[in-house]
Structure 1
């Protein structure tokens, strides 16, 4: 692949991530009995000889460090506790020598630059600590003070805009957990404990007093003034009751105070101090300021010499709130690194290869299903208040798979793979299995292989952030271009800045990061969409450690957090609406209709936020890449997969899944377990050094070292899904480029990539415009007695038979009072069904027609052609089809289109029409378009570029399709037996002209064509794309013919 063909341009600003220790400095290969106290003591002392290691261990796990101190002090310990201490300490030290992911003092970050000259590599030892209070500790302290009436009176409060009324209750979709677990020496255990506490809906009685409070706090106001309002409104209610109500509403999160630092505040402690000072709480402000001084003093200490001041800060913070990890520490590396730009060029080629080889089917079925449900309920091009959509009673509820609150929607399954994905899977299987069978550990891709893996032409991500290990035998080799990038198998981001975000305050030029984030967001957004910083209150205070990032936009979307929404730059839940296009969901400003994209450059898992916040984060990137890593697709379940290399980049390291049940058996004797491990290694040719773990939580182990094997066994006891990867140094070219007198260090580069700049002779890519629509409220279900609507479950493959052969029998018996009817096909996770709708006199519909419909359904059941039949309320898609003034005319078109479709299905079933279904649908499209646009119908079709994927279908059928230009749709019908079909076309044409005269929105034609394909063929998007391509091809041919003729 030449540089000219790269899809991306790598930015010359990156981030370097390096662990605290070099590979060789772990001291963990000792042979000892982890249940022998004296051996363990000597081992721990040796392990922590480096004072930097002890400080890093203490910061990462204070409880583990206390256990170390207890051991040194001679406290009694059982053998099990000694073993746990040994393995925990070993794992932390291994992490500090092998994993570059920043965490406390175990690994840090530094900026890295790239240039054609002046290469520089320096890694020193004077790393700098950045110290803040842990988000969980600070949230707990501030929550307690919010519960102090004296403090609360002085604070401003505002109603939580996630709340809403339901019946006689005021509801908050999910409660906030201010009491994070205090922690233990096992952070993973804390994580599992938190995961078990899904935030669910809470509510209070929507009393007159609650209504008064909520009405008075639409905008921030002092709580003391709010109590005065309550005194005036309810003079006979005891003051203690009113105060208690206010305190309770704050405690549960119905009211939010200004004391909580916004996530955009990078100095949350200083923010809280300033607020407390401003409201006259000098004593409490002083307590926090004193904590801040202690943290600053600790941060100023040389790395390795800060343990005393760290303990002093720990003790002081424990006096305000007990928490095992009250201090958050980030580390800025003492490093100056300038690399050759060739590293960036290789990253560009690697990112391009990833895009070309990526599957078409992206794993976001929940939002696809949600989009389909939204369109079914509300239609397209119509905005609905976000709060109403998320209400599970009156709207859709949160998408399937969402928590906080837990969605009751069925979790959608991934769609069927495309033809291209199936071919991709087959080719990957050929490559992988050939390598495995021949004993090769590597698959090498070239341009020809990428061509076979190449996608369908879907647009690549507009931007991405690669995380890659840079490996080289030596610094000189690196300078000479002898290097290998090894992409992380699990870490990357489709949004540059996400990996940078929370560390921006440590870097030299914060604004440079901001500019990168803004450019990335603009490149990935529709033209004209408003970008805004997303602010919210984390469900758990400790999550703020990851989510806290400086805002990079002046516009702000603040949901479920304290904010003054009277500011024109701030939008809350009530200012947002959701809408849908045929291929996506999008958000709009409810007052202007302008498309808006809330953004927050953070790696906080969206699943850890309230459902509304998660939706706000995921909608702007819907349909994009969920991650920027290599995927094996269905082959991921194989026991072993080889390394994948392209050029100087390892796209994926070799990996081995641990699947032997005996390896997970904690009761298995040690000797037997050791034998099983050796057997597994021999069978799959597993190397000595591997990185073990899931996601970004891997630790490098030497499987010949007894302690490392014990660490592995403990990992297998915690999870049944454990994968071993070859180490980056083994997959790449060694770790010799980043060395000091202490040894060689592992390293990762975070490289942001934006779209490649077009060549001067090329036109820049044109981004689709953002939508601007007028939001409307959710439809009130009409459930009109003038409509009878039933859903008939029937297998998709038999729907043509039901429609062509059996529905006419029901239609022939319709009472005269039924003046129109129509049908559509539908498919959802529950299965395919037909939707039948009849309009007429209510007494006739429900007294005469309903029994006849039920009899007809029973006949179909007897023939095994139908299943369940459900009568429901009809809710017209008024906005989608031109508004209230046009909906009756639209329904008349639906009726005549249904009649026309049935007649054509009948002729096809009889063999009288032999045109392919997609070509027949295209002929219908042209007939409908002519009724709207007359002689200018070709211009309507040619306004959009052709779809190359489906245009190939038209090319293959061009000759047959062109015959339709002369005779039109009617020429496809036989000379005899088509009178009813011809009459149906005439009636539909008249109805379409009448509809076009009252529907002001020209886009309704596209919706009519979409529904015609639905009636004539079904719900296949591929089929619809092909039929539209035929219609566009015919329009192009007709346009060319007319231009040629003059």
Structure 2
């Protein structure tokens, strides 16, 4: 499908696979009949399985509570209900241990691999683990230590860089929740911004010892007693407005090791109140390092983990104080043909995504940004995200409204029809080129709309290595990611960083592709909102430039502070910018922490800024499935979706539609109903039971597996339960039968976008708005329907203009908002004229409201788009040009009577504006001809094109237009005034080198089209460009 791939797979891969393999496991008993004999068999089976050391070791770490119950079962009788629960739970773990390759504890691990010429696989048994302190346990320890006054006074302090001043308060918009807290609510805290608080924050902009802060506070604020100064600092520490040196940053992958070193540095080992705890932490850290040198599933390692867990619980009573990750003893080379197949699958998924140009939330946010600030202006990030000072956050963020759903009606109808047809025929849904185009429906993304990079997780199906090398394989697409590092960063990157040899994969993650030329890839580091997420977020420093949010860090020139970040819009796309570096940044969170509820909103904003404006290759709201069924996801059945050798989505059945009996039904009744369901739904023998990313491979002909399925169906669930088809029994033959996933790294083949000019760009301060009554500008929103605009210009605004003598005014069409309106802007000679002008404007608006011309009216601040139009003289000249263009449109509506089609007249105006801007016919035509050709499948109607050729002829002084009724008066009157205004503006731009004159001209043309109701890049634009092309094309000499 297409000759050039949209994505190119990189050389390296990350393989994920289960640790348990080739170990005999006793078959599960029938769990459907609760008789004494059956209960005895359940007990025997549980204890027999528990005798398999690798299973026991993995479950002990994953579920300490379950392990204790099973250990007690050896000596203590249990009732039937308890035995059945233990058997079902243990069966779930066995299925995870054998079939779920998601890295976790001693269940599954990772290894680096690569694409090569032929398959080469080696599985060893010398697996190794990396043992660390769990995030919840570590947070509880920090809480204990920071509560000791004597220790606190030995620490260094650093101000939280997320602090904001709002009026008379110092505000921290968010902070991690305490270990005992539950829920997902964001908690803002604030204190009075007193001179002492201001001083404490300013003097800790870089780390300073607690004692030095106390001395400086005493010197600067002698009114504070020593106790009051201590109470102030302690309050700021408790509220996390000041961070202590006990808090490791997100790039400290060994948090406990950092804490032990810091305690030793400040003399904590000798400070009596914490000596015992500090020594215990040091010993625990040593024991962790020793544990990682052992066979992770050996009896000795199992006992050492148990002893370590017991000791850690004595310090902080958390259920699972140890976090363990495994690195597999394996080498993996996969044929390059698999890489080509993954590239093709990613290309198809990109072409049929329901949001090919970005998510609705981000597209709408971008339009709000452009409406408020325009292009080319730098807006400080913290001001932008503050809802009291800027736009706030996009929709779909925590605490913001939901964005409207994209218009996918055509795609939804087609997919529902195709799914139902596939169900009726018992066939797969196969995507060929014709069907891909039908699903895209003319909305396929342009190459520059694609994300610069994405990870795609796949499983490879081939019965043997020989078949794989011959190309006899299938690729099952599992999930796609937010970008490189999402599936392979965090704790997994830390695991790779500590292996004996340098990691090629980490080197690749450091060289992420970017959307913009010469953009700087940066890493984002921050504390998780939930302490339990800390183990996931700790990532080695992959690149030197680092955006650090709310972290204690020593002074470092490569640390980028949020106060140094701005956002700008360039060529219709938002970018994150570093002001000191004068460079575009492309930031990424290199770990899989859930964005919606566990990530600080500023970090999520920074991470999503580029990706949100690119084709969406993951499901909505945290769903990482690569294929999006749209409305068809609500069907009871979705067929397998294939493209080439790739399975983009497995056949899936939603159990919410199953109609199975409830918990009160007998086993026989439930089995009969399920057998009928299997026949009706054509369920295969082996399926995966799925809820979110949890998967259990079931054999539906095994009574124990059906009992496990029923236990899930009968239990109240958060989220949908589905059954998905399993891989064939011989699918993993090429890799010794191991369940696996391969993380592939894809880079867009599209060229990077040009970078905006930053050094000379204006910066929008909080005072950049001209408020009504306090400046020489008045801006009013006239809420009326688009069809009323003509009457406004011809019948109503002339009277207002006559009253507002010596004022310059213009109108702007605003149709992208939920409430279409016309924006009227008036520039007065002096701010003292504002009162009279407001009075006249109010009387005029009242008359129009009474007459039913408009339904609402509002005075709003005028925010000139100085990044687009220029500043000072250039801005004044641009406003005069917009005023002149408004006069042209009003004149045409009121005076012209010749029967020119609207697009023809609009195209003629576009040519006139381009020529006037360049003050040269040839240059203006050449500029318009060089603009990108609009993408469309339809040709221009011949009558329109012929009429345009007659009227739109600037090279002969608009002779065709002058011959039309009223045409000469138009050209010599309003057009001439606009021509002069354009000349003045172009001259002003020459004296303002930081302004992009091409962008300014495009904006003038677009504003004209919107004003007359023509869509940009539509018929009028195409007509103008066609005339320009004809006018600049070399003419052939006649042949003799």
TM-score of the two chains, using structure 1 as the length reference:
0.88
Which residue of structure 2 lines up, in the alignment, with residue 536 of structure 1?
526
Which residue of structure 2 lines up, in the alignment, with residue 190 of structure 1?
none
Which residue of structure 1 lines up, in the alignment, with residue 291 of structure 2?
298
Please state whether the residue corresponding to 2:153 is helix, strand or coil. helix
Q: How far off its partner does 1:241 sit?
A: 2.9
Please state whether the residue corresponding to 1:996 is helix, strand or coil. helix
Distance 1:270 1:35, change over 3 A: farther
Distance 2:306 2:771 in 1: 68
Please state whether the residue corresponding to 1:11 is helix, strand or coil. strand
Q: How far off its partner does 1:877 sit?
A: 2.5
Residue 588, structure 1, aligned to residue 580, structure 2: no
Distance 1:47 1:583, change over 3 A: farther
Distance 1:299 1:664, change over 3 A: farther
Which residue of structure 2 lines up, in the alignment, with residue 94 of structure 1?
95
Please state whether the residue corresponding to 1:15 is helix, strand or coil. strand
Distance 1:996 1:34 in 2: 88
Distance 1:359 1:325, change over 3 A: same
Q: How far off its partner does 1:6 sit?
A: 3.2
Residues 1011-1030 of structure 1 aligned to structure 2 (within 5 Å)? 1012-1014=1005-1007, 1016-1017=1009-1010, 1023-1024=1016-1017, 1027-1030=1020-1023
1:722 to 720, 723, 730: 720
Q: How far off its partner does 1:201 sit?
A: 1.4
Residue 644, structure 1, aligned to residue 641, structure 2: yes
Distance 1:820 1:664 in 2: 75
Q: How far off its partner does 1:234 sit?
A: 3.9
Which residue of structure 2 lines up, in the alignment, with residue 185 of structure 1?
none
Q: How far off its partner does 1:221 sit?
A: 0.8
Between stretches 391-400 and 475-484, larger displacement belongs to 475-484
1:413 to 379, 396, 404: 404
Q: How far off its partner does 1:64 sit?
A: 2.4
TM-score of the two chains, using structure 2 as the length reference:
0.88
Q: How far off its partner does 1:287 sit?
A: 2.6
Q: How far off its partner does 1:1031 sit?
A: 3.7
Distance 2:537 2:834 in 1: 57
Between stretches 204-213 and 425-434, larger displacement belongs to 425-434
Any stretches of 5+ residues in structure 2 without a counterpart? 270-274, 619-625
Summarize deviations over 1:524-551 as a string: whole Å, max 9, x none: 3311112222222222222222222222
Which residue of structure 2 lines up, in the alignment, with residue 463 of structure 1?
453
Distance 1:480 1:98 in 2: 26
Distance 2:533 2:391 in 1: 28
Distance 1:789 1:105, change over 3 A: same
Distance 1:360 1:238, change over 3 A: closer
1:60 to 46, 59, 62: 62
Which residue of structure 2 lines up, in the alignment, with residue 768 of structure 1?
754
Which residue of structure 1 lines up, in the alignment, with residue 249 of structure 2?
262
Q: How far off its partner does 1:677 sit?
A: 4.2
Which residue of structure 2 lines up, in the alignment, with residue 391 of structure 1?
386
2:567 to 562, 575, 578: 578
Residues 478-493 of structure 1 aligned to structure 2 (within 5 Å)? 478-488=468-478, 490-493=479-482
CA contact (8 A) 1:135 1:541 kept: yes
Distance 1:557 1:277, change over 3 A: same
Which residue of structure 1 lines up, in the alignment, with residue 114 of structure 2?
113
CA contact (8 A) 1:915 1:972 kept: no
Please state whether the residue corresponding to 1:401 is helix, strand or coil. coil
Distance 1:377 1:806, change over 3 A: closer
CA contact (8 A) 1:26 1:94 kept: no
Distance 1:924 1:1044 in 2: 31
CA contact (8 A) 2:455 2:480 kept: no
Distance 1:662 1:434, change over 3 A: closer
Distance 1:396 1:672, change over 3 A: farther
Residue 245, structure 1, aligned to residue 242, structure 2: no
Residue 327, structure 1, aligned to residue 329, structure 2: no
Distance 1:68 1:243, change over 3 A: farther
Which residue of structure 2 lines up, in the alignment, with residue 761 of structure 1?
none
Residues 822-901 of structure 1 aligned to structure 2 (within 5 Å)? 822-828=810-816, 830-840=818-828, 841-860=833-852, 866-901=854-889
Residues 627-666 of structure 1 aligned to structure 2 (within 5 Å)? 627=617, 629-660=626-657, 662-663=659-660
Q: How far off its partner does 1:708 sit?
A: 3.2
Between stretches 444-453 and 169-178, larger displacement belongs to 444-453
CA contact (8 A) 1:145 1:151 kept: yes
Q: How far off its partner does 1:290 sit?
A: 0.9
1:316 to 311, 315, 324: 311
Which residue of structure 1 lines up, in the alignment, with residue 370 of structure 2?
375
Distance 1:969 1:633 in 2: 52
Summarize deviations over 1:209-234 as a string: whole Å, max 9, x none: 21120111111111121122223334
Summarize deviations over 1:82-135 as a string: whole Å, max 9, x none: 554443333222222221111111111112233325x43232343222211112
Which residue of structure 1 lines up, in the alignment, with residue 155 of structure 2?
155
Please state whether the residue corresponding to 1:126 is helix, strand or coil. coil
Between stretches 968-977 and 929-938, larger displacement belongs to 968-977
Distance 1:322 1:160 in 2: 29
Distance 1:398 1:70, change over 3 A: farther
Residues 665-814 of structure 1 aligned to structure 2 (within 5 Å)? 677-716=674-713, 717-719=715-717, 721-730=719-728, 734-739=731-736, 744-755=737-748, 765=751, 767-773=753-759, 774=761, 776-780=763-767, 781-785=769-773, 786-795=776-785, 799-804=786-791, 808-814=795-801
State the aligned residue count: 994
Please state whether the residue corresponding to 1:949 is helix, strand or coil. coil
Distance 2:507 2:283 in 1: 36
Distance 1:752 1:501, change over 3 A: farther
Which residue of structure 1 lines up, in the alignment, with residue 212 of structure 2?
225
1:922 to 901, 907, 911: 907
1:504 to 493, 512, 515: 493
Q: How far off its partner does 1:588 sit?
A: 0.8
CA contact (8 A) 1:381 1:880 kept: yes
Distance 2:709 2:959 in 1: 73
Summarize deviations over 1:740-777 as a string: whole Å, max 9, x none: xxxx3211111223356xxxxxxx94643354243514
Distance 1:45 1:1018, change over 3 A: farther
Distance 1:814 1:745, change over 3 A: same
2:927 to 941, 959, 963: 941
Between stretches 269-278 and 509-518, larger displacement belongs to 509-518
Distance 1:580 1:666 in 2: 57
Summarize deviations over 1:176-219 as a string: whole Å, max 9, x none: 213156xxxxxxxxxxxx5x332221111212221120111111
Distance 1:245 1:46 in 2: 60
Which residue of structure 1 lines up, in the alignment, with residue 622 of structure 2?
none
Please state whether the residue corresponding to 2:390 is helix, strand or coil. coil
Residue 443, structure 1, aligned to residue 429, structure 2: yes
Distance 1:961 1:979 in 2: 17
Please state whether the residue corresponding to 2:304 is helix, strand or coil. helix
Q: How far off its partner does 1:961 sit?
A: 4.2
Distance 2:79 2:238 in 1: 41
Which residue of structure 1 lines up, in the alignment, with residue 15 of structure 2?
16
Q: How far off its partner does 1:576 sit?
A: 0.7
Any stretches of 5+ residues in structure 1 without a counterpart? 182-193, 757-763
CA contact (8 A) 2:692 2:719 kept: no
